[in-house]
Amino acid sequence: MNAYDPQAIELHRSSFVFDGHCDTLGEALAPPPQGRDLLERSDKGHLDLPRMREGGINAQIFACFPGAERLNACPTSAALRRLEVFYDLLRRAPDQLTLVKTADDLAALTPDGPIGGILSLEGVEALAGSMSLLHTFHRLGVRNIGLTWNPRNAAADGVDVGSDFGLTPFGRELVAACNDLGIMVDVSHLNPAGVADVLEVSSKPIIASHSNAKALWDHRRNLSDEQIRGIAAKGGVIGATFVSHFLNPNFREASLEDLLDHIDHLVQVAGIDHVGIGSDFDGCVPPPELDSGEKYPAITQGLLRRGYAPEDIRKILGENFRRVFLEVLP
Ligand SMILES: [Zn+2]
């Protein structure tokens, strides 16, 4: 068992914890034993509803990450199948999970009530270049859109492309439509020119749901200080992420302390009101101190030991993400 300081546990339990990113829906595409039933506590993967509860998570962004399926199947159906996993959980456990579609839904979440799920697309391949499908996914409850994963798509180039191209005309139209519909625009995975364009085009705050600081480790998925300042100036939030490969040049040595170093840097550059947490659970290899949902209080304990004030820790754990979603959601 993990033994955390009583003060850390008390602060963590009384905080609103909002996790900006997980790929957990993909874990339940197949029935057990190939897949997992997310209502059951498992020792496989990182998250399920019991472990979210143990970790004190109150709101969670669930990404539809098509993964390898994008190479050999229809990305639209890959996203729809993940949304169906979420809706199946809602049907079976309405007392444990609720869908957040509006600011009122988010504001209504309570520490002991159901966990609020926010549905997200990671990359817009599922839209097949169609604004009409954006409206369909909006009707299905999607309220966060990561414009790209690592490759190029109809909206923009991801960080793997290595181009200087920003948003395409479709990408610009998409950002404007997301602003109008109350869908958060998420720039994690987007190339630098794309991030600059989103900062210019978006009329609303934006987020980087799971990204760390390039100043500490010059990885293509990490954000420059200029990008961090730009997102903060727009009122947005950067979710520090547990991905070992983004935490430490030697990913095998990545630790909780590395995550805290990235949070320190993000706070110094962006300000305390613009930093959150986006675990990337079930989408990454996290450090051992953070390799399962119930270990979330380790962050609270680490921040306390580094001298953060309790009210500032609450902002990082979830109040900042909550604020920006209350502002953007319809
Ligand atoms: Zn990702």
122 CA to middle of ligand 1, Å? 7
209 CA to middle of ligand 1, Å? 8
**pLDDT of the residue at 2:** 66
What is the pTM assigned to this prediction?
0.97
Residue corresponding to tokens 């390039």:
214
State both tokens at 57: 């998570």
Neighbours of 244 (CB within 10 A): 22
**pLDDT of the residue at 69:** 60
277 CA to middle of ligand 1, Å? 13
φ, ψ at 71 (rounded to 5°):
-80, -25
37 CA to middle of ligand 1, Å? 22
Distance (Å, whole) CA 34 – CA 32: 5
Between the alpha carbon of residue 161 and those of residues 7, 92, 192, 199, the distances in Å are 46, 41, 11, 20
**pLDDT of the residue at 27:** 96
Instruction: Tell me if 222 sits within 8 A of 211, measured CB to CB.
Output: yes
User: Which sign does the torsion angle of CA 215, 216, 217, 223 carry?
Assistant: negative
**pLDDT of the residue at 3:** 84
153 CA to middle of ligand 1, Å? 15
292 CA to middle of ligand 1, Å? 17
Instruction: Tell me if 317 sits within 8 A of 15, measured CB to CB.
Output: yes
Distance (Å, whole) CA 9 – CA 5: 6
Strands 237-240 and 207-208: parallel
**pLDDT of the residue at 81:** 94
40 CA to middle of ligand 1, Å? 25
Neighbours of 320 (CB within 10 A): 26
Please state at what angle helix 256-270 crosses helix 297-305, rounded to 10 degrees.
Answer: 70
The partner residues of 239 in beta bridges, in order of sequence, read 276
11 CA to middle of ligand 1, Å? 29
The alpha carbons of the chain give a radius of gyration, in whole angstroms, of 18
208 CA to middle of ligand 1, Å? 10
**pLDDT of the residue at 68:** 62
Instruction: Tell me if 293 sits within 8 A of 57, measured CB to CB.
Output: yes
Q: Which DSSP helix (H) or strand (E) runs through 17? A: strand 17-22
10 CA to middle of ligand 1, Å? 31
Distance (Å, whole) CA 43 – CA 239: 25
189 CA to middle of ligand 1, Å? 7
239 CA to middle of ligand 1, Å? 11
**pLDDT of the residue at 230:** 98
Spell out the per-residue pLDDT of the chain, length 330, in tens: 468 999 999 999 999 999 999 999 999 999 999 999 999 999 999 999 999 999 999 999 999 987 766 555 789 999 999 999 999 999 999 999 999 999 999 999 998 899 999 999 999 999 999 999 999 999 999 999 999 999 999 999 999 999 999 999 999 999 999 999 999 999 999 999 999 999 999 999 999 999 999 999 999 999 999 999 999 999 999 999 999 999 999 999 999 999 999 999 999 999 999 999 999 999 999 999 999 999 999 999 999 999 999 999 999 999 999 999 999 999
CA nearest neighbour of 229 among 179, 264, 269: 269
Instruction: Tell me if 324 sits within 8 A of 275, measured CB to CB.
Output: no
Q: Which DSSP helix (H) or strand (E) runs through 189? A: none
φ, ψ at 212 (rounded to 5°):
-115, -165
7 CA to middle of ligand 1, Å? 32
Q: Which DSSP helix (H) or strand (E) runs through 116? A: strand 115-122
Neighbours of 271 (CB within 10 A): 15
262 CA to middle of ligand 1, Å? 17
281 CA to middle of ligand 1, Å? 10
Between the alpha carbon of residue 16 and those of residues 75, 106, 262, 321, the distances in Å are 33, 11, 21, 10
**pLDDT of the residue at 111:** 86
283 CA to middle of ligand 1, Å? 7
216 CA to middle of ligand 1, Å? 19
3 CA to middle of ligand 1, Å? 30
